[in-house]
């Protein structure tokens, strides 16, 4: 009897969600870029460039080109940096928490060098606790947080580009 009730509840929830118009982000194609082709101005081996290209390919039918003269939009990454600052100390004066910062500057222009999006800076911050007895684990956690911030920055770039109105 409990199994039937759970099945009925799940069916009711699925029906309610589909009736309200709920859709996963990006499933309707609205998050795709308004450009037919894009050039991404970062080195081939850059983790940022790899992730940016992956999201552009997954987001719709925008083609990534290797020649900026063939692109409708050119993404220039002007700078990228990672910073680590002490957030708090314990009673012995040892570091207890860090603040991690990921900064990225970029701009978007068309093939005639007209700026579609002026130089924009994205700054992301995450706090991380520190424990001297778990140094390796905390270093891995720091790497994961930086990777998460980079992914967040890529998604912000694509959302800003999706809002552009090309000429």
CATH code of the domain containing 78: 3.30.160.150
Please report whether residue 71 resides in a domain. Answer: yes
pLDDT attached to residue 155: 94
What's the Cα-to-Cα distance from 13 to each of 7, 8, 18, 88, 146, rounded to whole Å? 10, 9, 9, 45, 37
Please report whether residue 119 resides in a domain. Answer: yes
10 falls in which pLDDT band (50, 70, 90)? Answer: confident
16 phi and psi angles, rounded to 5 deg: -65, -45
Please report whether residue 128 resides in a domain. Answer: yes
% of the chain with per-residue pLDDT over 90 = 62
The terminus-to-terminus CA distance of the chain in angstroms comes to 62
R_g of the chain computed on alpha carbons: 22
% of the chain with per-residue pLDDT over 70 = 90
Ranges 28-32, 114-118, 120-124, 144-148: which has the least confidence: 28-32
Question: What's the domain range around 36?
Answer: 2-162
What is the count of structural domains for the chain?
1
pTM for the whole structure: 0.76
Please report whether residue 87 resides in a domain. Answer: yes
For 104-143, write each residue's pLDDT tens digit. Answer: 999 999 989 999 999 999 999 999 999 888 999 999 999 9
pLDDT attached to residue 6: 79
Ranges 7-11, 41-45, 73-77, 136-140: which has the least confidence: 7-11
Please report whether residue 167 resides in a domain. Answer: no
pLDDT attached to residue 27: 45
């Amino acid at each position: 009897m409990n199994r039937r009730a759970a099945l009925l509840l799940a069916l009711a929830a699925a029906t309610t969600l589909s009736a309200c118009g709920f859709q996963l982000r990006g499933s309707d194609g609205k998050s795709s870029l308004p450009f037919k082709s894009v050039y991404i101005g970062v080195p081939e081996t850059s983790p940022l460039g790899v992730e940016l290209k992956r999201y552009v390919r997954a987001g719709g039918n925008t083609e990534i080109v290797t020649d900026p003269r063939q692109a409708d939009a050119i993404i220039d990454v002007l700078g990228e940096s990672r910073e680590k600052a002490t957030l708090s100390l314990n009673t012995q004066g040892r570091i207890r928490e860090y603040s991690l910062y990921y900064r990225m500057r970029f701009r978007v222009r068309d093939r005639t060098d007209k700026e579609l999006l002026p130089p924009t800076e994205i700054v992301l911050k995450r706090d991380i606790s520190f424990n001297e007895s778990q140094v390796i684990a905390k270093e891995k956690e720091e790497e994961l947080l930086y990777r998460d911030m980079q992914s967040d920055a890529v998604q912000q770039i694509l959302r800003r580009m999706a809002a552009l109105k090309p000429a």
